Chains A and B, each alone.
Chain A
């Protein structure tokens, strides 16, 4: 079966532009996570959904970052007025749900802000 799919794989934005990153989780997975991975670092947690409910957004670095999962499947991470420090790989992961703690990761979207 298909794994976690993210698009686009690469995104170049000019400083100040808005971007939207898409994540298609594994079919049937109720939990979805976004992480940010700066160059040479480990991934850092951004936000977590269970179905359509955003249960934890404690890792979002500013109010320019917004995530949604309106139908409990596909999720979009939106970054408004991008800054150079937003350049990173954005990883999406999904898991089967409550208590099923293996997270399966997509290949990520590499965002470069010029």
Chain B
């Protein structure tokens, strides 16, 4: 079946450090891939997405590239800020057979310290 594996947290970085959160997936066919972010006390928000191989999603300085050959969608940011402190979820969308369910990883908690 479909599954998403992302690096375990928590991750603690100093402000302006480089961020990488690894995500790999297992799926049949060609899923769409997503990163969602959950700030404290808030719901999940879409951060970025990619719908086909070699697509790069980007938003708010974050980037991730859909790598079919390595089944990966790693999240990167060149310089993190305190306001980036949140839990990040990698997810894939399974389509077909009348359903569009998201499959999520377990989440990676990021803390950025001044």
Chain A residues at the B interface, C-beta cutoff of 8 Å: 3-4, 31, 33, 35, 40-45, 48, 50, 55-56, 58-59, 91, 93, 95, 101-108
Contacts and interface: CB of A to CB of B under 8 A. Distances in A.
Contact residues of B: prevailing secondary structure: strand
Interface residues of B, number: 25
Interface of B: 4, 32, 36, 41-46, 49, 51, 89, 91, 93, 95, 98-107
B104 A43 contact: yes
B100 A31 contact: yes
B32 A101 contact: yes
Contact of B100 (A41, A43, A48, A59): A48
Contacts of B89: 42-43
A91 to B, nearest CB: 7
A55 B106 contact: no
Given A42-B91, A42-B106, 5 more contacts: A33-B101, A42-B4, A43-B89, A45-B103, A101-B51
Nearest to A98: B100
B106 A105 contact: no
A9 B95 CA distance: 30
A56 B97 CA distance: 9
Contacts of A106: 43
